[in-house]
Structure 1
Amino acid sequence: MAFAPWAKTISHFLTYLMMRQHLLLPFLFLLLGMACQKKELPDIHAIENGLLLDQQPEGSPVQTFSLAERMEHYQVPGLSIAVVEKGKLKWAKGYGIAHTGTGQAVDTETLFQAGSISKPVAALAVLKLVQEGLLDLDVDVNQYLKEWQVPENAFTAKEKVTLRGLLSHTAGVNVHGFPGYKQTDPFPSLVEVLNGSGNTPPIEVDKLPGSGWRYSGGGYTIFEKVVEEVTGRAFERYMEEEILLPLGMRNSSYEQPIGGRWQKNSSAAYDRQGEILEGFWHNYPEKAAAGLWTTPTELAKYCIAIQEIRGGKEDGLLRPELVEQMLTEQDGSWGLGPALEQREGRLLFKHGGKNAGFTNQLIAFADEGNAVIVMTNADRGNGLIRELLHAVSAYYGWGISSPKLVAPESAD
């Protein structure tokens, strides 16, 4: 009984902090730092205290910031990161709050919506079916579609839509991205989305296939339907059984809306003012394009698997020749799923992700076994991610991201 007054005081203090998020984050960082300071790698301390602004005044000492400071600046309640070095997960850590309503903190198991990082993982389904002889990358996709087909028009009369075009955003298909649906909105079927009966236009070809690169979430929604038609399985089931579990991604799901078994570890989403979205997050029937719930640690497994096969592993999810195609530029610096970039002769595969209230980035080296994945539960996560990537790149000497040096009077 002697401790009851203290318990009541602590309870009131925590309640006060919960009501004032800008005070809660530094308090949580303090507690986490005290708990982890004896066992954390020096990498972690250096990076989380070495964030760099996008612009640095030329000729002046570099100014660094803590991750806690910049999370508060950008109104980002929660963040999770994983770093891969030489083909192994080097470290992973969560920061801040996953759900201000419950006080749930972000840890390495907290699920975030991957946004468009769903696409390169989903592309593995097509490549695996190609490997099994059930699909061909270069034939008319309408050969595989029964319930719904790509509408024929003047563009498709000249060139047909292929899976290669859909994966590389060169099929001439419209609909850049998807806003998702609130919990109170009617949730359309995949065919309804394709027909334009949801909150986006009908998915169709409005540019000559093969005539150039243009990003299209609509294209990925078409191949989602192809996978379902060819396998006879719901897309989320096929992905779980044939892609995610074989990769060891047991804490990931394409279920939309997300199933109850996953929700206790799912982060809420936050707008540009740091306010929680109504209903906590949006739902996405466009699963291949935007429907993956996952963690940076899980996406690290995807990166490592691709790097290992690229290095010659013969018994991986895909054969080396298919990964070689996946990482070969088709058009617009894009492969079959991921974006590609050459940095001083080093090949990177990468993808960003943006759903309502979630902002993420994945960058991996094809041949060096290094990667970094950052996921945030906020609409303003991009600036924070860039500054964090500057810190990661500077610490490891990876050359993937660096501030721009500007005249002192021009620096922010």
Structure 2
Amino acid sequence: MDGIGGVSYRARMKTPSIVQGVLIAILASSAALVPVSGHSPVEGSNQDSKKSPDMNDAPTSLESSIVFEVVKDGYPHIRIPSILKLVDGSLLAFAEARQGGDHAKNDIVVKRSSDGGKTWGPLQVIDDQGGDSLNDPLPVEVGFGPHAGRIYLTYMSFPEGCHTDCVEAGYGPRSSRNWLTWSDDRGVSWSKPIDVTRTFRDETTNYAGSPGVGIQLERGPYRGRIVFPQRQGPIEAMRAYAVYSDDGGETWQRGDAAVNPEGGFSADEVSIVELEDGSILLNSRIHNGGPKRRLRGRSTDGGASFGTLEVDEGLISPHCMGSIVMHKASDRGFDQSRVLYCGPWQEQGRSGGAFVESTDGGRTWGSPTILVPGGFAYSQMVILEPGGEVGLFYEADGYRTMRFLRFDPGPLQGTKTLK
């Protein structure tokens, strides 16, 4: 298990003309963790980077705020959304700031909103490792227990000039790395990142990580556990799993990798949510062919295992990142539990951002509600008020902007478009 210390540094503001390097403290653990143990980083593989644009560039017709905008924010490309609502009500929006494609000297960056997403502060660089590429920001806020109020952020790095299809297994110089940093002042400053590769990734795999958000379990025997969804390489046979901590993030353990369904396709970017019975619902992108749907799985042991995944025929997806959240739970004063899924509701092309609801823990889904008729790619939801408004942070305008909007799911009655 990896222990963590308490050194911190202040996140710096990004200026378009200067890209400074940051010293990274590498703390590799030599201890063997739990037996067994990962996204092609952000967008699959080098092949993804060379594709023609796959997103409708028509602007959204809904009122939204621009969080990140290419060039204006000092980078030619900014992608991969993740967002948290903190206990003080502020929002933190994380992303990869890139010089080019998936692996182009990417930095991990963040912006803050103190007015519910109407306006956003300046871009801050959390980590910049020079030529190496940083991918898949994955944050979580500790809500209670040890280190309550602390924000953990994990992400992975790839050596300069190398992608998911060329990194080596093991822990050598041509392997990917996993990093963990944290903030005790609501994201104003961040600790020096520590190398947690030996904990987060099995030696036989060549990379591991996932975009999205982590969760802290609130129910049952694993209450208090912090869980990060992950998927491990190799690119042609990725598998989903979780990394978790029972002591507020001081030490971490790696769960078993889920078994992919038959058919030759595999799990990619992973989203998880705790259900009212304390189990964890897993929802992931499908990679390496397969139907234009999603994969799902369930853990009853706090994320230590997810068994065999299955195709969720009720969710349409063009093979793209999506997210699930618990909008309301029956054990929290609501008449009925409701899980929401959001992603592009198309089999071809990334557009038509929609959400659907499930009232039976993700077994079946209702009719889609179209939120963004135009271009809509990677996205992440955040609960702004349990049972009330939901925030949506998404890629738009042909990947030129990353936007935020608020919506109230309300009662769902057939396919509709929110006005």
Give TM-score, length-normalised by structure 2: 0.26
Higher strand share: 2
* Structure of larger gyration radius: 1
TM-score by length of 1: 0.27
Higher RCO (C-alpha under 8 Å, 6+ residues apart): 1
